[in-house]
Structure 1
Amino acid sequence: MDDTDRELLAQLEGNARLPVATLARRLGLARSTVQARIERLEEKGIIAGYALRLGDAARGDRIRATVLISIEPRSTPAVLARLKTLTQVEAAHTASGRWDMVLQLAAPSTALLDEVLDAIGEIDGVKGSESLIHLSTRIDRLG
């Protein structure tokens, strides 16, 4: 990957729907060259896909939370299997330090969020948790 590929990726991160002609103009390259670079980046798995980013108007009715959990040794696969069944769990990341996993949750109400937090606490292998309710978003580069 060279500097041109990095700039192409930066442009696509800003707006993945940019026409190839616009990308070519911005990069100072031929349209066919940009198209070939995109295809190569897709084939190499550098571009894994394209996704819809919802704006605040669509996400505004969701209560979001980060949940930190500690897990009994050797229980991670079973805990993950159970977490996958909870649709309010949007992402789960393993972590180093005091907590073993960081979860991202979203629910339409505090009542449902409370139910999900209880369900997480009841999973066999979960030793403890700490919940952080998101109040407002000040920076969002991930969408």
Structure 2
Amino acid sequence: MTFTQKDEDLLALLRLNAREPVASLARKLKLSRTTVQDRIKRLEEQGVIAGYAVKLASAVDKGGIRAYVTIAVEPRRQVDVGRALSKLPQIEALHTVAGKFDLVALARTATAEDMDRMLDGVGLIPGVTRTESAIILSTKVDRR
């Protein structure tokens, strides 16, 4: 899939505000409204734009505890561990990474005690050799 610079610029604008009116996007991109609509439709059809989501204001989304959890996995067990982690409703995102850990999960629980129990459960998953967690105190920039 190849993108033009205008496609990249359009995607950057949509990342900032996916609800921005097409007319406003067109003005910023110096394109016609029809051209921008066609580009958005093409990007959706190609699966580049997979969907749109609601991003809650931090004042509304304050509940609970969030943490990044790094997870080391035994060789050849990553698929099984990933499958087990994906079944935990507290895991909002799971990424494979390069480095001393194999996976990084973003977890959310209602309380610190719930986070502690969830982390204990992660450590008991067959194939997990070590975990480390970092509680998120605040978010300074989020362009998702």
| Paired amino acid for 1:65 | A
Q: Which amino acid aligns with 2:100?
A: R
**Which residue of structure 2 aligns with residue 44 of structure 1?**
46
SS of the equivalent of 2:142 reads coil
The Cα offsets for residues 22-48 of structure 1, whole Å up to 9 and x where unpaired, read as 222222222211111111111222222
Say which of 99, 102, 116 aligns to 1:100.
Answer: 102
Q: 1:81 aligns with which of 77, 80, 83?
A: 83
Show the counterpart of 1:90: 92
Q: 1:57 aligns with which of 56, 59, 77?
A: 59
Q: Quick one: distance in 2 between partners of 1:107 and 1:87?
A: 9
Alpha-carbon offset, residue 87 of structure 1: 0.6
TM-score of the aligned structures, taking structure 2 as reference length: 0.91
Query: Which residue in the other structure is 1:18 paired with?
Result: 20
1:6 corresponds, among 8, 18, 23, to 8
> Cα distance, 1:140 vs. partner?
2.0
Aligned with 1:27 (options 11, 26, 29): 29
* 26-35 vs 61-70, which moves further: 26-35
* Partner AA of 2:87 in structure 1: T
Cα distance in 2, alignment partners of residues 67 and 110 from structure 1: 14
Letter paired with 1:22: S
Q: Which runs of 5+ in 2 are unaligned?
A: none
Residues 16 and 143, structure 2, Cα contact 8 Å, conserved in 1:
no
Aligned residue in 1 for 2:73 = 71
Q: Secondary structure at the match of 1:58?
A: coil
Q: Which runs of 5+ in 1 are unaligned?
A: none
Give the corresponding residue for 1:119: 121
Moved more, 93-102 or 20-29: 20-29
| Alignment coverage as a number of residue pairs | 142
Give 1:128 deviation, angstroms. 0.9
**Counterpart position of 1:134:** 136
Q: Distance in 2 between matches of 1:64 and 1:138?
A: 14
Look up the equivalent residue of 1:38 and give its one-letter code. I
Q: CA deviation at 1:117?
A: 0.3
